[in-house]
């Protein structure tokens, strides 16, 4: 599979007559489901952590059953793709255990290793993490993916395929380096969506100037006010917006931000669609094989 396939998928989205409606559904669904304590949702705001979160889901579920894995599995994955240091991975695992998304116990075969097991809280989070993608895709493609929302065995497959498809997105992302202003910062994606939501970006009458106080974003997404301010300053330097009043009380949204945001979300939806399609095909083949055996 090449990046050209993903590029073609992105073009299909861009030409869809109901794209704006789907973008609005994605934004609202994502933000409504966000909570500071949600491990996977929080991690999805930064590329490095997003990949590790997907890998955790793929490792933690196998054909509808919960299974255990080790921290070394994640560290090996991170090393292979040069996305995070072993200490960074260890820190993320500790957060997941502390917040109740993973449990850890000593391995009986190797006392040096902790076996990590996803909890029910983790599984619910994995399900909820699919909704901001399933809902707009079902809107665009006539409920083609409704069956996946209730299929427990699909979670790991979707995650595994998403990891593969995600790697194909880098050539597309490199064409728009301004994307990383938001995607490579903690809570960056969430703040980007909040900007779009506040400005009614994908409606018939978008607002050019909005008020989005930094302290409210800080509270909503669990990051410092200084972090939020630096993010907006970086976006202003990149020519995406203009800050007219301190603290985010008056922000002018430039057309370049609208385009960058659209490209970012469309790329995410295209990745999800390809992962859902591959999962649906595999589930269909498995069901067909089962019927042939009967």
Question: Does the model's pTM come out above 0.95?
Answer: no
Structural contact between residues 251 and 243, judged by C-beta atoms closer than 8 angstroms:
yes
Q: How confident is the model at residue 247, as a pLDDT?
A: 95
Q: How confident is the model at residue 156, as a pLDDT?
A: 74
Q: What does the DSSP 8-state code read for residue 210?
A: E
Q: Crossing angle of helices 154-168/255-293, nearest 10°?
A: 130
Cβ-proximal residues to 28 (8 Å cutoff; 6+ apart), any chain:
197
- Exposed (0-12), middle (13-18) or buried (19+): which is 255, by Cβ within 10 Å? exposed
- Stretch 132-138: mean pLDDT: 92
User: Is 90 exceeded by the pLDDT of residue 243?
Assistant: yes
Alpha helices in 169-213 (DSSP H): 170-174, 180-183, 188-198
- Stretch 64-83: mean pLDDT: 81
Q: How confident is the model at residue 39, as a pLDDT?
A: 58
Matching residue, tokens 């590029």: 7
Q: In angstroms, rounded to a whole number, what is the distance separating the alpha carbons of residues 166 and 168? A: 5
Q: In angstroms, rounded to a whole number, what is the distance separating the alpha carbons of residues 240 and 255? A: 7
Q: How confident is the model at residue 123, as a pLDDT?
A: 78
Q: How many CB atoms lie within 10 A of CB 52?
A: 25
First-to-last alpha carbon distance for the chain, in angstroms, is 33
- Stretch 239-268: mean pLDDT: 92
- Stretch 241-251: mean pLDDT: 95
User: Is 60 exceeded by the pLDDT of residue 294?
Assistant: no
- Stretch 146-152: mean pLDDT: 72
Structural contact between residues 61 and 68, judged by C-beta atoms closer than 8 angstroms:
no
* Percent of the chain topping pLDDT 70: 81
Per-residue confidence at 225, pLDDT binned at 50, 70, 90? Answer: very high
pLDDT for 105-126, tens place per residue? 877 776 667 888 888 888 777 7
User: Is 80 exceeded by the pLDDT of residue 131?
Assistant: yes
Q: What does the DSSP 8-state code read for residue 247?
A: G
Q: In angstroms, rounded to a whole number, what is the distance separating the alpha carbons of residues 280 and 273? A: 10
Cβ-proximal residues to 17 (8 Å cutoff; 6+ apart), any chain:
none
Could you tell me the residue ranges of all domains in the chain? 3-293
Q: How confident is the model at residue 293, as a pLDDT?
A: 40
Per-residue confidence at 34, pLDDT binned at 50, 70, 90? Answer: confident
Most confidently predicted of 56-70, 128-142, 144-158: 128-142
- Stretch 73-83: mean pLDDT: 83
Of 77-86, 200-209, 258-267, the poorest mean pLDDT is in 77-86
Q: In angstroms, rounded to a whole number, what is the distance separating the alpha carbons of residues 47 and 266? A: 16
Q: In angstroms, rounded to a whole number, what is the distance separating the alpha carbons of residues 231 and 233? A: 5
């Amino acid at each position: 599979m090449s990046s050209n396939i993903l590029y073609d998928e992105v073009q299909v989205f861009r030409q869809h007559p109901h794209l704006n409606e789907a973008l609005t559904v994605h934004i609202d669904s994502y933000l409504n489901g966000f909570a500071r304590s949600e491990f996977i949702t929080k991690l999805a705001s930064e590329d490095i952590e997003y990949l590790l979160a997907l890998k955790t889901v793929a490792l933690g579920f196998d054909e509808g059953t919960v299974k255990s894995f080790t921290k070394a599995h994640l560290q090996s994955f991170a090393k292979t793709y040069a996305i995070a240091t072993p200490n960074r991975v260890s820190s993320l695992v500790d957060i997941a255990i502390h917040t109740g998304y993973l449990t850890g116990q000593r391995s009986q075969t190797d006392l040096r290793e902790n076996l990590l097991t996803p909890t029910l809280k983790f599984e619910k989070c994995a399900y909820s993490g699919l909704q901001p993608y399933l809902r707009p895709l079902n809107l665009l493609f006539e409920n083609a993916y409704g069956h996946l929302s209730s299929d427990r065995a699909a979670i790991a497959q979707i995650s595994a395929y998403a990891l593969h498809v995600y790697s194909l997105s880098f050539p597309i992302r490199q064409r728009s380096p301004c994307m990383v202003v938001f995607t490579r910062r903690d809570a960056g994606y969430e703040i980007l969506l909040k900007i779009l939501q506040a400005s009614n970006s994908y409606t018939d009458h978008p607002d050019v100037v909005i008020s989005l106080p930094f302290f409210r974003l800080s509270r909503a997404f669990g990051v410092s006010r200084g972090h939020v301010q630096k993010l907006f300053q970086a976006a202003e330097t990149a020519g995406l917006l203009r800050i007219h009043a301190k603290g985010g009380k008056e922000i002018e949204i430039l057309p370049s931000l609208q385009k960058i945001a659209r490209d970012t979300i469309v790329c995410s939806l295209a990745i999800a669609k390809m992962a859902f399609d591959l999962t649906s095909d595999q589930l269909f083949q498995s069901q067909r094989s089962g019927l042939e055996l009967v």
